[in-house]
Amino acid sequence: MAEITIIEAVNLAMARALENSPDVIIFGEDVGLNGGVFRATDGLQQRYGTDRVLDTPLAETLIAGMAIGMASQGLRPVAEIQFMGFIYPTIEQMICHATRLRNRSRGRITCPMVLRAPYGGGIHAPEHHSESTEAIFAHMPGLRVVIPSSPLRAYGLLLAAIQDPDPVVFLEPKRIYRMMKQEVADDGEALPLDVCFQLRDGTDVTLVTWGAMTHETLQAADQLEAEGVSCDVIDVATIKPLDMETILNSVARTGRCVIVHEAARTCGVGAEIAAQLAEHGLLSLFAPVQRVTGYDTIMPMFKLENDYMPSTDRIIAAVKKTLEEA
Amino acid sequence: MTNEEKKCVAQFEIHYTQLLNQQGELVGPLPEFAASAEALIALYRTMVQTRTFDTKAIALQRTGKMGTYSSSLGQEAVSVGIGSAMRFEDVLLPTYREYGAQFQRGVAMSEILRYWGGDERGMAYQHQPHDMPITVPIATHVPQCAGIAYAMKLRNEPRVAVSVLGDGATSKGDFYEGINVAGAWQLPMVVVVTNNQWAISVPRDVQTHAQTLAQKAIAAGIPGEQVDGNDVIAMRHVMLNALERARSGAGPTLIEAITYRMHDHTTADDASRYREQTVVDEHKLLDPIERLKKYITAHHNWDETQENELHETCAAEVEAAVSSYLETPPAPPETMFDHLYETLPDALQSQRDEVERLGKQKQGGDDNG
Ligand SMILES: Cc1ncc(C[n+]2csc(CCOP(=O)(O)OP(=O)(O)O)c2C)c(N)n1
Ligand SMILES: [Mg+2]
């Protein structure tokens, strides 16, 4: 079994899906011969042909709209938006159509599409190439929003997204596309959607995160371990719909919670998790919930991006704050 | 350098089709289908049926029995022409004035009433599995139409995807994105622009400086043409040709159907705020139903007895749909969670339970009261 990166796992999952079903169609800007600007679709057009792996005109509304049209016909479109910073023209298609086609037609027409996009900061990219705006999609009823954080989860969750009977926005943390390698069996096995993944068991504090921030969060947990603080680390993975049960169970054990995300703080997904902890888990809490997030500023250009994104130190400081309370 | 000194690298023309003039006289070569009295009477019947429905729907809204409604008054020939030319297995992506096409394709009148009566079940289209529900966000269905057409092309199906939109809609980017890819990928697709001269209160000329809307096709590299949208024979003819081209793999077409919106934009609008009634009255002379009636009266012995019978049949059909609509109780409130996902996620179960509980409470309260 080969050790592969997240981006290779994304590629492997799409290849497996193309192999397993003639209904799977991959398209987007530069995804054909070029294999995508991050190489997510590398080699797929060569292997599966120009009918099934195709370059579209440069038009994001079109990409989302065509995915909806194809999905309505029973195809399994997997559309790529080149960067999350250019995903906004798809919002009308997603909120007005993809998410509600099944509902509007009373189950007559469905929309099993995947909209993939690399997201997040930390790669010294130009302006508009570092956004984390997953909360925009998480607010849409009828949608799933899935974010992998390791090669195994990238493979298993992308297959799950493609197999899912409803629309999925699949956001790939591009900073960690090539950060780590794992053995991934190309067995076509999907991982479950709508559940969190437990990355580390601990007793003192629950750290909740997703995407590239799992890296800093796990680093913080390591350092805290050395200081005698035991962290439970949860990768939310499917941020919509949210598996609060896993988070609440963990907090019932630890009594403390720190939520870490790269996106801006206000109305970020962390706010929803904190609100639900207040509604359903307040009595297990020994300390106020802490959020370590991007700031409510425009995502700065790359000279300052590391000052914007949560660091291991900021996470450790937040954990210590929760421990200061009784 | 003057233009004469520059080399001309491309030239384009836009053609217009009219077969029946305002007086109901034939002004062009009669298409094959139009030789048959039966075919013409079928078109006539559907136009009358659509107008009967329309009149009743407005009355339902005015008497508080239905929500806002968008009328297709004066535009019946466009919609009926489209619907009559399509095959059942094609896919129609309609906006909110395509009743004439929808009825022919199996959508029930009671479903349209349910839709404007605020009930999702009006989009279930129980006898029309293929068509998309009415699209409200303007022009958003054109990219979807391209996706559907791509699926048909990929599977080598002899089917066509048809989207219908307004003159205002052609100002939107997604309209252009859709027709552009239709050209680039030579998709089996027909886009009909119902140019009724108005986008709510904004007249056609404020929408664009382009001389025709059909010429927008040229930038997309696809054929574009105009047709008299109040001439149902021309409308069906142009549509049949476009569908045939698409079906045979010869690519997409943009059709601009010239018509006039005779009613307010919707029942929530008051067109007297922005247009003169005299101008509207002038357009009565162009009425599509009167025009075909003149022709079939002159050429196919259509008479007042048949006319009266037709109106009675249509009225009865509409009345039956209205009864069905009025008699349908609202769906239980928890059905708002139905078909949200294939399987309701656990995260939503407690919200559904709450709605169900409150709904039952209300029901109990109503019963007691
Ligand atoms: C994207 C979008 N913007 C605005 C509206 C509100 N609106 C509904 S109909 C309409 C005018 C549409 O005009 P046109 O495309 O000519 O179609 P018509 O109503 O004349 O059939 C507007 C502005 C809408 N539904 N969608
Ligand atoms: Mg209009």
Judged by CB atoms closer than 8 Å, whether chains meet at A65 and B125 is answered as no
Centre of ligand 2 to C-alpha A104, Å, is 25
**Which member of B136, B141, B347 has the closest CB to residue A241?**
B347
CA terminus-to-terminus distance, chain A: 48
- Mutation site for B-interface testing, chosen from A53, A56, A62, A236 by largest number of B Cβ within 10 Å: A62
Please give the helix or strand (H or E) that residue B332 lies within, else none: none
Centre of ligand 1 to C-alpha B246, Å, is 27
Determine what percent of chain A is predicted with pLDDT higher than 70: 100
Q: Which residues in chain B touch residue A89, judged by CB atoms under 8 angstroms apart?
A: 173
Determine what percent of chain A is predicted with pLDDT higher than 90: 99
Asked if residue A325 has pLDDT above 80, the reply is: no
Q: How many other CB atoms are there within 10 angstroms of residue B67's CB atom?
A: 15
Reduced to 3 states, what is the DSSP secondary structure of residue B257?
strand
Could you tell me if the CB of B141 is within 6 A of ligand 1?
Answer: no
User: Out of B15, B62, B274, B357, which one is annotated catalytic?
Assistant: B274
Task: For residues A86 and A134, give the distance between their C-alpha atoms in angstroms, rounded to a whole number.
Answer: 13
Give the helix, strand, coil percentages of chain A, each rounded to 5: 40, 20, 40
Centre of ligand 2 to C-alpha B163, Å, is 15
Task: For residues B293 and B84, give the distance between their C-alpha atoms in angstroms, rounded to a whole number.
Answer: 18
Which residue is closest to A103 within chain B, CA to CA? B339
Q: Confidence band (pLDDT; 50, 70, 90) for A326?
A: low
- Average per-residue pLDDT for chain B: 97
Q: Which residues in chain B touch residue A103, judged by CB atoms under 8 angstroms apart?
A: 120, 338-340
Could you tell me if the CB of B167 is within 6 A of ligand 1?
Answer: yes
Torsion of CA A38, A39, A40, A44, to 10 degrees: 160
Q: How many other CB atoms are there within 10 angstroms of residue A141's CB atom?
A: 15
Task: For residues B58 and B43, give the distance between their C-alpha atoms in angstroms, rounded to a whole number.
Answer: 23
Residues of chain B with pLDDT under 70: 366-369
Is residue A105 within 8 A of residue B115, CB to CB? The reply is: no
pLDDT of amino acid B367: 52
Q: Which residues pair with residue A119 across a beta bridge? A: A173
Q: Confidence band (pLDDT; 50, 70, 90) for A289?
A: very high
Task: For residues A259 and A285, give the distance between their C-alpha atoms in angstroms, rounded to a whole number.
Answer: 14
Q: What is the pLDDT of residues A173-211, one digit of tens each?
A: 999 999 999 999 999 999 999 999 999 999 999 999 999
Is residue B189 within 8 A of residue B146, CB to CB? The reply is: yes
Judged by CB atoms closer than 8 Å, whether chains meet at B124 and A69 is answered as no
Domain ranges for chain B? 11-326, 333-368
Sign of the torsion angle spanned by Cα atoms B243, B245, B249, B254: negative
Could you tell me if the CB of B169 is within 6 A of ligand 1?
Answer: yes
Q: Confidence band (pLDDT; 50, 70, 90) for A14?
A: very high
Q: Give me the interface pTM, i.e. the ipTM.
A: 0.93
Q: What is the pLDDT of residues B54-105, one digit of tens each?
A: 999 999 999 999 999 999 999 999 999 999 999 999 999 999 999 999 999 9
State the alpha helices, DSSP H only, in chain B.
37-62, 76-85, 99-104, 109-116, 141-154, 173-184, 204-207, 216-219, 232-247, 277-284, 288-300, 304-327, 346-368
pLDDT of amino acid B246: 98
Task: For residues B247 and B11, give the distance between their C-alpha atoms in angstroms, rounded to a whole number.
Answer: 27
Does domain B11-326 bear CATH number 1.10.3720.10? no
A20: Cα separation from own chain's centroid:
24
Residue B8 forms contact with A (CB below 8 Å): no
pTM over 0.80: yes
Q: Confidence band (pLDDT; 50, 70, 90) for A270?
A: very high
- Mutation site for A-interface testing, chosen from B144, B153, B338, B343 by largest number of A Cβ within 10 Å: B144
pLDDT of amino acid B366: 58
Centre of ligand 2 to C-alpha A248, Å, is 53
Instruction: Of A101, A74, A168, give the one whose Cα is nearest residue B93.
Output: A101
Antiparallel, parallel or unpaired: β B202-203 and B198-199: antiparallel
Q: Confidence band (pLDDT; 50, 70, 90) for A2?
A: confident
pLDDT of amino acid B284: 97
- Average per-residue pLDDT for chain A: 97
Q: Confidence band (pLDDT; 50, 70, 90) for A164?
A: very high
Judged by CB atoms closer than 8 Å, whether chains meet at B147 and A104 is answered as no
